[in-house]
Amino acid sequence: MTTPTLSQRGQTMPMSAMRKLSPAAQAAQARGVEVIRLNLGQPDIETPAEFWNAVRAFPEREPTLAYAPSAGRPELVRSLVRYYRDAGIALAPEELVVTVGGCEAILFALLACGDPGGEIITPEPYYSNYAGVAAIAGMTLAPVTTHGEDGYHLPGREAFEAVITPKTRALLYASPGNPTGAVYTRAELALLGDLARDHGLFLLADEVYREFTYDGATAASVLHLPGLDDHAVLLDSVSKRYSACGARIGCIASHNAGFMQAVLKLAMVRLSAPALAQAGIAACIDTPPGYMETARAEYQRRRDLVVERLNAMEGVSCRKPAGAFYVMARMEGIDAEDFARWLLSDFEVDGQTVMVAPGAGFYATPGLGRDEIRLAYVLELEKLARAMTLLAAAVARYRREQR
Amino acid sequence: MTTPTLSQRGQTMPMSAMRKLSPAAQAAQARGVEVIRLNLGQPDIETPAEFWNAVRAFPEREPTLAYAPSAGRPELVRSLVRYYRDAGIALAPEELVVTVGGCEAILFALLACGDPGGEIITPEPYYSNYAGVAAIAGMTLAPVTTHGEDGYHLPGREAFEAVITPKTRALLYASPGNPTGAVYTRAELALLGDLARDHGLFLLADEVYREFTYDGATAASVLHLPGLDDHAVLLDSVSKRYSACGARIGCIASHNAGFMQAVLKLAMVRLSAPALAQAGIAACIDTPPGYMETARAEYQRRRDLVVERLNAMEGVSCRKPAGAFYVMARMEGIDAEDFARWLLSDFEVDGQTVMVAPGAGFYATPGLGRDEIRLAYVLELEKLARAMTLLAAAVARYRREQR
């Protein structure tokens, strides 16, 4: 008898930076400690009534919850075409495939643009699940480091060309960025576009946070860039936009017909994205514009509070991000992973503590991010203020205990 | 400027055998022809009221549709533990991860047991998406051929050992089988178990059709086999059981803790399976036992009708399958792919035609399955009878036209 061995990828795949401390959080809760979660981008804003109304009405028309077409239910595809048109992006229905959340859009993109052994260039810090998706695809991330002092904006062309190899298949970026909140300028996007064109690479743009920009900033789309039809791929979450993360509806779009044909074959393998959620999300296009405006204004207030309070903490600093609902903060001299665990295992004030994501999981370069944490400001202001008070007390105590 | 090239896997990935003719079917419909679909295992039976009630009640308790835990919503995990206990399978909650349909369970299993270049042995004909999932995982299928004359039951140990190589990572099978409907005997499962033990392989069991067995047959589970805790992995669809295919809820379970840890990391990469559907499916455990009994009796009647009518057609033959809701039929001298296309492009009687899945897509061995079709008997008897009348007329006319 021989015991089977796990795959290398199964053994070495990184734990999600946002979720790896979940067992420690559950243990804290089991001790009666309330854990205020700043680790996950799970908005607290209510899912629009349009979603719930469509879901409730569903069984009257379709008492059997059947598979959806692999590319998406027609009413959702129509609704997305309309949504993108309003965002200045002209897409034909066949240039778009509905995915199981934004994550599947990333997976399909990597699978369609590269084979095992291929490399994907991405600015770091990056959304930590990029590493997991790349591992699933048998590919590796080649990072280009960005820095908090620069607001995590991109370095020059040389920094990218230094990591391009014959194995490079694509450039992958998020703007507005997770975990950085950086919104790339037109010039930065043009640089990425030039690199893609000059080196024959796909340009994969994670635009999940398109609507969440502050102080009048706007996020340009990869599909706004001219002359990149064969290169540009848009990766999106639809359910996140409408505060319905659990719906798991995203999409992938490109003007490259061969690329979309490969994506459709991949989509057929998993048959269908969730059908009921698709019907609900399709209805969200009719959410009044005020819904998004209210959400944006609320996030901007939250961002302002969090950034101000973080910078007031001893040895903690961050720049004000222009988008998304995350902030990376540097905590000088603190081992962020140890600190994040300690928050859950040894710290509490009046029965409460906070949960944050340690920074190292958002970098591929060993050693980077060890003194950084990522916070998601997706809780109401009052709770967020309390979390900041707890975090300030924790930083002070952690430093005092000289860990 | 260089145009980026698609990945090899993106180019060579097979089209879903069940869905590749969808454009031809849409063209037929556009001409006003009604297409009776026997190509997809999409049951027509209504999703239970328990599902819809749970979905309708959801927003009252949870107005924000949040991510579910990566391993599944606790009420669904509890409900699944109870369901499996009733099926004689003892599982701890952490031995089970909820997946996005049965397809994701297969993908996670392949990713956790092998790396790119790895091989998976599977009896053919197999569920055609196995090939797509293997391509995504960078792995290949090594087929062991089974034959219609044997009711697609397994050959002896030598046939398996002939294809085992140092790259072999797992044995993958479905019982009750799709597309064959074969239900393996205890002796067949014991053979697979012995092979897995002797050669240090994972034994991946697709048990999606567990409940759908006829004439008193019962399907044993891989988790009923003794001494295979490190090897045995159960792959399941939950939504299919309750005629809610569009819910996209499946699960993967094993007593191998290291394996399940790898699966959990994979699940974290995609954050969560659809949350609303999980709440609905969790409630389905309370569906009265009569729901499944009624469904089973109905499928048995359908199977009997389809098998009788197929065997009455000129040069068409099939054995009566013991489970699932599919049948593979041999059509002597007919090119099944051409026939299936012709059904959609050139055949109709009174404005109706039928859609079937050509057999070759269910085989890895080139040349096999070319004279076979797969039918799913998931329509009501009357419609099924009409489809059989159409198919008989089509076979006769196709033969007459000597294509």
Query: Which tens digit of pLDDT belongs to each residue from A305-345?
Result: 999 999 999 999 999 999 999 999 999 999 999 999 999 99
Task: Point out the residue among A7, A42, A55 whose CB comes nearest to the CB of B114.
Answer: A7
Q: What is the pLDDT of residue A14?
A: 81
Hunting for tokens 């995504």 — which residue is that?
A: B136
Average pLDDT on B256-282 reads: 96
Name the residue in chain A with its Cα closest to that of B231: A4
Q: List, in sequence order, every beta strand (DSSP E) within B76-201.
A: 96-100, 119-124, 140-145, 168-174
Domain assignments of chain B as residue spans, ordered by start: 8-46+290-400, 49-284
pLDDT band per the 50, 70, 90 thresholds, residue A403: low
Is residue B108 within 8 Å of B97, Cβ to Cβ? yes
Helix, coil or strand: residue A213: strand
H-helix or E-strand containing B269? Answer: helix B257-269
Instruction: Say whether the ipTM exceeds 0.90.
Output: yes
Q: Does A199 touch chain B (CB under 8 A)?
A: yes
Using the beta-carbon criterion (under 8 Å), do A243 and B42 form an inter-chain contact?
no
Residue B1 has pLDDT above 70, yes or no: no
Least confident of A29-43, B14-28, B277-291, B346-360: B14-28
* Cβ-Cβ contacts under 8 Å, A246 against chain B: 65-68, 272, 274-276
Per-residue pLDDT tens over the stretch B321-336: 999 999 999 999 999 9
Give the chain B residue nearest A44 (alpha carbons).
Answer: B64
Q: Are A24 and B128 in contact (CB under 8 A)?
A: no
> Which pLDDT does position A1 carry in this prediction?
62
In eight-state DSSP terms, residue B213 is: B
Q: What is the pLDDT, as a whole number, of residue B22? A: 87
**Residue B13: its pLDDT value, please?**
87
Say what the pLDDT of residue B19 is.
Answer: 76
Q: Residue A51 and residue B45: Cβ atoms within 8 Å?
A: no
Pairing status of strand B202-206 against strand B168-174: parallel
pLDDT above 70: percentage of residues in chain A: 99
CB A305 within 8 A of CB A196: no
| Longest alpha-carbon distance in chain B | 66
Q: Which phi and psi (to 5°) does residue A237 adopt?
A: -110, 135
Closest CA to A67 of B47, B130, B49, B231: B47
Give percent above pLDDT 70 in chain B. 99
- Asked if A245 lies within 8 A of B11 by C-beta distance, the reply is no
| Element counts in chain A: helices (H) and strands (E) | 13, 13
Partner residue facing B13 (CB), from A129, A138, A266: A266
Q: Which of residues 86-105 of A touch B (CB under 8 A)?
A: 100-101, 103-104
In percent, the amount of chain B with pLDDT more than 90 equals 89
User: Using an 8 Å Cβ cutoff, are A87 and A210 in contact?
Assistant: yes
Pairing verdict, β B119-124 and B140-145? parallel
pLDDT digits (tens, 9 = 90+) for A265-293: 999 999 999 999 999 999 998 888 888 89
What mean pLDDT value characterizes chain B?
95
User: For residue range A8-33, what is the model confidence (pLDDT) as tens digits?
Assistant: 998 988 887 777 898 899 999 999 99
At B71 the pLDDT is 96
The secondary structure of B271-340 as a DSSP string is --S-HHHHHHHHHHTTS-HHHHHHHHHHHHHHHHHHHHHHHTSTTEE----SBTTEEEEEETT--HHHHH
Chain B environment of A1 (Cβ under 8 Å) = 197-198
Chain A residues 337-396 within an 8 A CB cutoff of chain B: none
Distance CA B204, CA B126 (A): 13
Q: Is B231 on the interface with A (CB under 8 A)?
A: yes
* Mean pLDDT for the stretch of residues B375-397: 96
Would you state the structure tokens that stand for residue A111, as one six-digit string? Answer: 């699978």
- Among B45, B64, B200, the residue with its CB nearest the CB of A243 is B64
Cβ distance B248 to A65 less than 8 Å, yes or no, reads no
Please indicate if any CB of chain B lies within 8 Å of the CB of A13.
Answer: yes
Per CB-CB distance under 8 Å, the chain A contacts of B60 are none
Q: Are B162 and B192 contacting, i.e. CB atoms less than 8 angstroms apart?
A: no
B140 forms beta bridges with B119
Mean pLDDT of chain A: 95
Local confidence band at B41 (pLDDT 50, 70, 90 cut-offs)? confident
Q: Average pLDDT in the B27-32 region?
A: 95
Q: Quick one: how far is CA A77 from the chain centroid?
A: 22
The Cβ of residue A289 has, within 10 Å, a number of other Cβ atoms equal to 8
| B12 interface with A at CB cutoff 8 Å | no
Sole residue written with tokens 């009733």: B86
- Paired tokens of A384: 């967020």
Closest CA to A170 of A256, A100, A238: A256
Residue B103 pLDDT greater than 80, yes or no? yes
- Domain B8-46+290-400 CATH superfamily: Aspartate Aminotransferase, domain 1 (3.90.1150.10)
* CA–CA separation, B121 and B94 (whole Å): 28
Question: What's the confidence (pLDDT) of residue A45?
Answer: 87
A31 interfacial to chain B (CB closer than 8 Å): no
Average pLDDT of span B127-134:
94
- Residue A329 and residue A340: Cα distance in Å, rounded? 13
| Nearest C-alpha in B relative to A105 | B270
State the Cα–Cα distance between residues A246 and A249, nearest whole angstrom: 8
Q: Return the closest-CA partner of residue B131 out of B226, B40, B14.
A: B14
**Rounded Cα gap, residues A299 and A389, in angstroms:** 19
pLDDT band, very low/low/confident/very high, at B2 (cuts 50, 70, 90): confident
Interchain pair A3, B243: CB under 8 A: no
Residues from chain B contacting residue A276 (CB–CB below 8 Å): 55, 246-247, 274, 276-277, 280
Q: What does the pLDDT average to over B145-167?
A: 97
The shortest CB-CB distance from A269 to any of B117, B129, B169 is to B129
| Options 3.50.50.60, 3.40.50.300, 2.40.50.70, 3.40.640.10; CATH of B49-284 | 3.40.640.10
Please name the residue of chain B whose CA is at the shortest distance from the CA of residue A19.
B268
A162: Cβ contacts below 8 Å, ≥ 6 apart: none
Residue A177: per-residue pLDDT: 96
Per-residue three-class SS string for A38-73: CCCCCCCCCCCHHHHHHHHHHHHHCCCCCCCCCCCC
Say yes or no to pLDDT of A109 above 70. yes
CB count within 10 Å of CB A168 equals: 20
Exposure letters B147-176 (e unless 16+ CB within 10 A, then b): ebeebbbbbeeeebeeebeeebbbbbbbbb
Q: What are phi and psi of B256, to 5 degrees?
A: -80, 105
Burial group, residue A370, by CB count within 10 angstroms (0-12, 13-18, 19+): middle
Best interface-test mutation with A: which of B5, B6, B108, B197 has the largest number of A CBs within 10 A? B6
- Residue A230 has its nearest CB partner, among B3, B111, B259, at B3
b/e burial code for range B89-115 (CB count within 10 A of at least 16 → b) = bebeeebbbbbbbbbbbbbbbbbbbbb
A147 — contact with chain B (CB < 8 Å)?
no
Kindly tell me if the per-residue pLDDT of B141 is higher than 80: yes
